[in-house]
Structures are given as structure tokens and as C-alpha cells.
Structure 1
Amino acid sequence: MNDVMDPATMTFIQVAEVWVPDGDRLVLEKGNYGNLDAFAAASHKESFARGEGLPGKAWAEGRPIVLKAFDGSYFKRTEAAKEAGLTSAVAVPVFAGKVLKAVLVVLCGDDDARTGAIEVWKETDGVLRLEDGYYGAAKHFEWVSQHTHFPRGQGLPGGVWAAGTPILMRDLGSGYRFVRADSAEKAGLSTGIGLPMPAPDGATFVLTLLSARGTPIARRFEIWEARAARAGSPREATLTDGICEREGPLWAEENPPVSPKTATAWQGPIGQVLGSGLPFVKTDGVGLPAGYRSMVALPIWRGDDLAHVVAWYL
């Protein structure tokens, strides 16, 4: 296979943005807009108070929020989004304890071809239930998900809940660990990653990203385990799991690399997250594995400690 990804590949997520606190407002730190220049220009003019717009609402409510339609909603960039063909968005707040570090916003378009899932699960009455989700054309899988719940330790959401760590699942349609395997296979979903989403009020949320081959969320996923900085040394992280469309598994428990891949604070894209504690979006391909043009890296905090970094690449 060619080392360079097809630039015409239609992705499930079309825009990724990082909004960071600046006094009492959120301002745009970085965004990946592809060729949606007009929407990018509109976004650079915006800022959000707590509770205002989608980023501000995620900040105020302290949880991931799915917005399936913009018309008549609190979304502030509706006209620009409509012109760009964007119809839905998910906002993911990143908290260190009770302190907001940033809000990651991803935006998608709705058509008959895009299939994938971005799901938010919440613990209620001792099980995880679907709080909300966006599924594109995977309508049957959406219905199945709405009627499924997960005890602690079951399925991808329940496994993340029990472990308190990100988990990567391969071959969703044939994997016995994936409870919704039959409907995932029919929808063409192939790879899933689940992320713990600590909330400042102590509520339990799990975010799941499910990728299809035809309209992928990503062609490469990585999970890095971060370690607190030792005296006089920068913070580091080690690659503990990953999968690539071209290379296959980047890590296997039964046969791990002799020298595990590591990242150091401020060195390379993962190092930017380790150093800043913020989500990171890269759009120029520099410093990325060969053949990838862009990436999103999301820190996962456990209280006041940066515990993991999850990255996905296109």
C-alpha cells in the first residue's frame, strides 16, 4: 500500500478544535479545518463564556455533550456550519481535578455515506447507559446502542469504567468482547477506543469513538501511559497500545517491543500534550509517522495527575 494516505478519503470527523480558558472566556487555541476556510475564519472570531455555545456548555456542565443538530440550538456558528456542510458536533471538556484545561470540539457532516460513532455513556443506577451519541448513517447501530447498558467490566464502555484507563478494541464485528458485535459488523464498524472522562462533580462518563473503514475517525490510534516527572527530569510517556491500518498492531501484550516507544515533554506531538496538559491538534504532518497529515491528541487526567494521552491520526 502506498505510504501516503489518499487525501480524498472521506472522514467521519471533519473538524477538530481546541478551546482554552482565557480569563472568563474560552478562546480558540488550534483547529484542523481541512479546506473549510470560511468556517475556520468564523471560528477564529469567536469566544465563549461559561455556559455559552457548545464549548461553554461543556465547560459549565462538566461533561461531554453531543449536539446532533444546530438549527434552533445554542450553537453560535450555525450559518457558517451550514455553509460548510457541518451538521453535528461533540464537545469534550478536559478537567484536571476541578480545573478546566480545555474543551475539544469535533464537528461532523450528515449524509448517507458517513458511518461511525461518537458515544457518551453515563453511570446511572450501577450501569452505564447511553447519555447521547452521534452515529452518522449507522441508524440501526444507534437504535441498538440506545437499548443497551453495560455493567462494570462488560463491553468496551464497561471495560473502561472498570479499568479507569483508555482501551482499544479491534475487529468490533467479530470480537466477542464487543457486546454489539453483530450490529457493528452490519454497520461496517471496525475499531473502537474508549476513554474515561472524569467529571469535576465525581460523575462517571465514558467516551467511545467507533471507526468504520470507509469513513474512518482515524487510520491510526495510540494509547500512551504518562508518568509524573522525576526530580530534575521532564514528564515522559510510554506507548502501551496502538493500531495502524497499514502496520497492524503497534503493540501486543504477548510480544511487546524490546524497547518500548517513549515520548518526553515538549518533544514531538505527544510531548506537547505532556508538557502543556492540553489537547493538541496538528495539521501539517511534520513530526508525525510517515504518511499521516494530521492528528489529534487528548490528555486523560486522573484528578490532578496526567495519566494517559490518546492520539488518533489521519
Structure 2
Amino acid sequence: MMDTAIDTTARTFIEVAEIWVPEGDRLVLGEGHYGALDTFAEASRRESFAKGEGLPGKAWAEGRPVVLKAFDGSYFKRTEAAKEAGLTAAVAVPVFSGKTLKAVLVVFCADDEVRTGAIEVWKDDDGVLVLDDGYYGAAKHFEWVSQHTQFPRGQGLPGGVWASKTPILMRDLGSGYRFIRAESAGKAGLTTGIGMPIPVPGGETYVLALLSALGTPIARRFELWDARSARVGKGEPAAVLVDGICAREGKLWVGETEDPRRVTAWQGVIGRVLGTGLPVVEAGTPGLTAGYDTLIALPIHMDGELAHIVAWYC
């Protein structure tokens, strides 16, 4: 059922999340969550990146999401610290408002025989979305299927995001007729998917998809917030919760006859994203929803304005 799509006790697919923000001509660490990986955290605090340097700098220079599935022999700068921490792959997601880089979100994963999930980047290639790159952990067959799948506009999770230009949360991936790769997703244990547009300065189409499994979920709670002025009025910046899922609480959104959940700028963690336009990694603070250790919130800017916030809780 929908409200059992995310386990509340399993180890999550993502091990580390960090945010790099521009300071002069370099990216510096804004905030991050490293769990018990103190050595890697310390290596990260000492680091900074010029445009084109390291993984965050590459996402900045190329103006696109970047997947790095192996650190050895690559442009990655913290290879030894990552190896010591057991980290094996990373994805960098730049946050642009128009042509201005606001920040780069980087998430790290650790590989093992059971860690299953997917972080995918889809790109428009002559009128269809093709897999630009992705990290799948142990879901090798699903990775192969994804590499050989294309999505026209409006089809499947990536195609639906492309057509609507909005984030989409999709449930029951293994049995849902809307999910084109349902059979292979079911075999891999993938249950919940969230897709979001990633606007970039060149105007190319990129869609980021996070596919979560019961055993090693991407997160234990997902939220989609709409921050477009047409939805919340022309006054104080605000956002409304339009969709969400949580194993413990079931669905998080409300019906048309109820008042929607709404936050204003600087009200809680989501309000901080509204106020700054920056992504947030919040860990172990009183402002978090009870029962969760970490929140990652990613803003999506459209036409120079904050339009959506995608949040996931671990």
C-alpha cells in the first residue's frame, strides 16, 4: 500500500549530503550532514572548488547535474577520505536561478551487495529523454533496462516531469501502469519515485529522478511544495504542500475541502529555503519534523523565481 512504501528503520541509500555555495570565484562548504564520517567531514571543511574543479566545480562549469560512479583516477579531489569513509559514488546537482548559480547539492552513496536505489539524470536528446547517467547500487538489471529506455514528453516519470515542468511523486513503481519500467522496478524492490526538473542556464532539459526501495530507501518521507505566486497569492512569499508520502503518517497532503499546509518565508526549514532560495541540509536540530534525523530540501527556480521545493527526510 502507499503508506508502506518507505521503511522507517532501514539504512538509507544516501550516506552524505552537502551544499557548496559561491564565495567570490570559488565554492565553499555551506552545510552538510556526514553522520559518523568525521574524517570525511573534516576533509570537506578544508576544501573549496574553483569553477571546473572537483565534482561541485564541474557541475558549476558544465551547468548540469553530474554523476560520478568511481573516484579513483577521476577529477574528484577527496578520493582518499571518501575511500576511508566507504563512499563510492556521488551526484552533484547545481541550483541555478536564471544564469546565476545559487549552490551545488552533492549527495554520496556507499556500494554493497544489498544497497538498492537509483539516482538518475535524464536529458533531452532530439525530442526524447535518454539516460544521461545514473547510480543504482545493486540494482544492475534495472540499470541496464534504464540505459535502454527512452521517454517521450509526458510518458513515465521523467517524461511527466518534462511535460509539466513540475516535480512529480509516483507510488507503487513495481505495479503502477504509469511507471514504464514497472516490471524491472518490482524485481529490484523499488517502490517510490520522485522526479524533478533541473533548470540550467543553457536551456537544455534535465530531469533528476530518485527511486527508493523498501530495504534501503532514498528517504523515509518525501514532500513537494509549490512556491509559485499564482498558487499562494501575491503577498508574502509562501509555499503549500501539494504532495507527500511517509510510512508512519501515510499521505501528507490534504483534500480540496481542507486548508492546505502552508509555510511562509523563514517559517521553519522549508521557510528558510523560501527566504534564501538556497538548498538546505539540516541534521539533528529542533526544527526538524519529529522522528527524522536529516532533511534535504532542494529549491527549483523557474524564470528567475523560486517555483518548487522538493524535500526528503532521513
- Superposed displacement of residue 230, structure 1: 6.8
Tell me, yes or no, if the aligned pair for 1:285 and 1:292 is still in contact at 8 Å: no
Give how far 1:251 is off. Answer: 2.1
**Alignment partner, residue 91 of structure 1:** 92
* Contact 1:174–1:185 under 8 Å retained in 2: yes
SS in 1 for 2:298: strand
Matches within 5 A, 1:234-313: 234-251=236-253, 255-256=255-256, 258-313=258-313
- Asked if the contact 2:8–2:220 (Cα under 8 Å) also holds between the matched residues in 1, the reply is no
Cα deviations by residue, 1:87-113 (Å, 9 ceiling, x for unpaired): 100000000000000000000011101
Name the Cα RMSD after superposition: 1.6
Letter in 2 for 1:173: G
User: Which amino acid letter does the alignment assign opposite residue 278 of structure 2?
Assistant: L
Q: Which runs of 5+ in 2 are unaligned?
A: 1-6
Aligned AA (1:193): I
Amino acid at match of 1:52: E
For the residue of structure 1 that corresponds to 2:226, the secondary structure is: strand
> Aligned runs of 1:4-43 on 2, under 5 Å?
5-6=8-9, 9-43=10-44
| Cα distance change, pair 120–257 in 1 and its aligned pair in 2 (3 A) | farther
1:246 is displaced (CA, Å) by 1.3
Displacement, 1:10? 1.5
Give the secondary structure class of the aligned counterpart of 2:14. Answer: coil
Q: CA deviation at 1:5?
A: 5.0
Matched residue of 2:17: which SS?
strand
Q: Secondary structure at the match of 2:160?
A: helix
Shift of the alpha carbon at 1:249?
1.5
1:60–1:220 CA distance, 2 compared to 1 (3 A): same
Structure 1: distance between partners of 2:13 and 2:62:
26
Which structure has the higher relative contact order (CA within 8 Å, separation 6+)?
Answer: 2
> What amino acid is aligned across from residue 74 of structure 2 in structure 1?
S
Summarize deviations over 1:255-282 as a string: whole Å, max 9, x none: 3461100011111010010000000011
Q: Secondary structure at the match of 2:227?
A: strand
Q: TM-score, normalised by structure 2?
A: 0.95
Post-superposition shift, 1:248? 1.6
Q: Is the 8 A contact 2:14 2:107 kept in 1?
A: yes
The alignment-based identity, stated in percent, is 71
TM-score (norm 1): 0.95
Question: Shift in Å at residue 227 of structure 1?
Answer: 3.3
Note if contact 1:5-1:292 (Cα within 8 Å) is conserved in structure 2: no
Q: Please, which runs of 5 or more residues in structure 1 have no aligned partner?
A: none
Q: What does the per-residue CA deviation read over 1:126-172, in whole Å, with 9 as the maximum and x for residues that have no partner?
A: 00000000000000000000000000000000000000000000010
Equivalent residue pairs, number: 307
